[in-house]
Amino acid sequence: MMICARLLAADASVLKPPPGAKVAIVVFEDLECPDCANAYPVVWEAANTHKIPVVLHDFPLPRHNWSFEAAVWARYFDSKDTKEAQIGNEFRRYIFANQTQVTRDNLQQWVQRFGDQHKIAIPFVKDPDGKLAEKVKADYALGQRIGVEHTPTIWVVGNSGVSQPFVEEVKDRAQLSQMIEDMLKKAGPAEPAKTAAPKAAAPKTGIKKKGAATRSAKKAS
């Protein structure tokens, strides 16, 4: 199979590596897609070998009747990530591993089983304000804008040091590692990660504020 190079014009900026990385793998996936299940371990093995981030985007295909709900649940588990474990990615791996047994009718049972295994309470309503579903829809809309037509669609993205990154669509996963190595050679310096400006010390009140969680590139454990 061929590796097709594609330079994205108007939307290329959204596919650049996250701050602090020269190269990243960007994946548009569907949790009900058998080929996505096959690609998932390949992508993470390559990413871990080369120590680069993976940026996951949801692209639940309309013909798959439980993939959207599974993607929303994955977003719920993303909110339970810790420094020690990426719970959202563990859920994705779990669903892919059991994909052939999951149906629209029993998805909730698989979610409950995963929650029990990780000691995470499963709410009666997972997304009461619809914000998680909106994130999934936003990923899908992004995929449509940049021409995603199938899942998984995988890109290796490198920072070229100019306004547009280098983008190569992965057509042959056997050559993924070589594509990453080639991209690392021609990529520009990594954009520094943004750090918050130091703040004046607040008076001691005995109350601690919780930091806001963010979803960016996730690394598999």
Q: What is the rounded distance in angstroms from the CA atom of residue 84 to the CA atom of residue 102?
A: 28
Burial of 49-65, coded b for 16+ CB within 10 Å and e otherwise, reads ebebbbbbbbbbeeeee
Domain parsing of the chain, residue ranges: 4-186
Mean pLDDT by 10 residues, the chain (221 residues): 37 75 94 96 94 96 97 97 92 98 98 97 94 98 90 87 55 85 82 54 37 39 41
- Write out the DSSP string of the chain: -PPEE---STTGGGGSPPTT-SEEEEEEE-TT-HHHHHHHHHHHHHHHHHT--EEEEE---TT-SSHHHHHHHHHHHHTT--SS--HHHHHHHHHHHTGGG--TTTHHHHHHHHHHHTT----SSS-TTSHHHHHHHHHHHHHHHTT--SSSEEEEEE--SSSS-EEEE-S-GGGHHHHHHHHHHH--PPPPPP-PPP-PPPPP-S--PPPPP----B---
Q: Under a CB-based contact definition with an 8 Å cutoff, are residues 121 and 115 in contact? A: yes
pLDDT of residue 202: 38
Long-range pairs for 104-111: beta carbons < 8 A, 24 or more residues apart: 104/65, 104/66, 104/69, 107/66, 107/69, 107/70, 107/73, 111/73
pLDDT of residue 59: 97
Global pTM? 0.78
Which CATH fold would you assign to the domain 4-186? Glutaredoxin (3.40.30)
